[in-house]
Amino acid sequence: MARWEPGATQRLVVAAVDLFNEQGYDATTVAQIAERAGVTKSTFFRHFSDKRELLVAGQETLSRLLADGIADAPEGSTALDAVAAGLERASNAMGPTNRELGPRIKAAVAASTELQERDALKTVGMAAAMTNALVDRGFPEPTAHLAGELGVLAFKRGYTAWSENESGKSESLAPYAAAALHEMRSIATTLN
């Protein structure tokens, strides 16, 4: 086993997702994940505190990218325009591995109550990051909260469409997230 081989985090995530789908979350051990990833068990614990953490790898980075994009949106942007800037920043950081793992992660989460709870916490964290960034820009809390929640919905819908798109017309998540946010904006105008 290569102890310091680069890409250990990504290999651990891929190994875990595959094992969770093959034999179930509960039946999968840290030792099996480490072995499949080609690392030691101690290397696993240098990257993750437990196997639940594998499917939220990158959560802090994603939340930071969303918040940074909102913070850097042009002066005078509406709350949803700022959210669009956050979605674009985060989407541009997603690559082919994220796209490939999407349906496999979705299947693993759907099969495990514990992973569903962890996924819900990830959603809360994304919404909080966007809400806080919008409040920092001066938007009232209710506006910021609603825009942040719409941003989460748009991100999740865009990510699902992107990861399930077989045609490969767009390698970037950004147009999918933008289209989903546009759809959320349109729907919001009908909520009278």
Residues 47 and 78 in one domain: no
Identify the pLDDT of residue 71: 97
- For the entire predicted model, the pTM comes to 0.84
Residues 28 and 80 in one domain: no
Closest C-alpha among 1, 31, 37 to residue 17: 37
Q: For residue 155, what are its two tokens? A: 């991100």
Residues 78 and 159 in one domain: yes
Residues 80 and 162 in one domain: yes
Identify the pLDDT of residue 6: 55
> Which tens digit of pLDDT belongs to each residue from 66-80?
999 999 999 999 999
Identify the pLDDT of residue 7: 84
Residues 95 and 181 in one domain: yes
> Which tens digit of pLDDT belongs to each residue from 106-147?
898 899 898 898 888 889 999 999 999 999 999 999 999 999
Is 2 inside any structural domain? no
Domain that holds residue 14: 8-54
Is 169 inside any structural domain? yes
Q: What proportions of the chain, in percent to the nearest 5, are helix, strand and coil?
A: 75, 0, 25
Residue 40 is part of a domain; what is its CATH number? 1.10.10.60
Residues 146 and 83 in one domain: yes
Residues 93 and 27 in one domain: no
Exposed, middle or buried: residue 38 (CB in 10 Å: 0-12, 13-18, 19+)? middle
Residues 67 and 94 in one domain: yes
Which parts of the chain have pLDDT scores under 70?
Answer: 1-6, 167-170
- Cβ contact 105:55 at 8 Å: yes
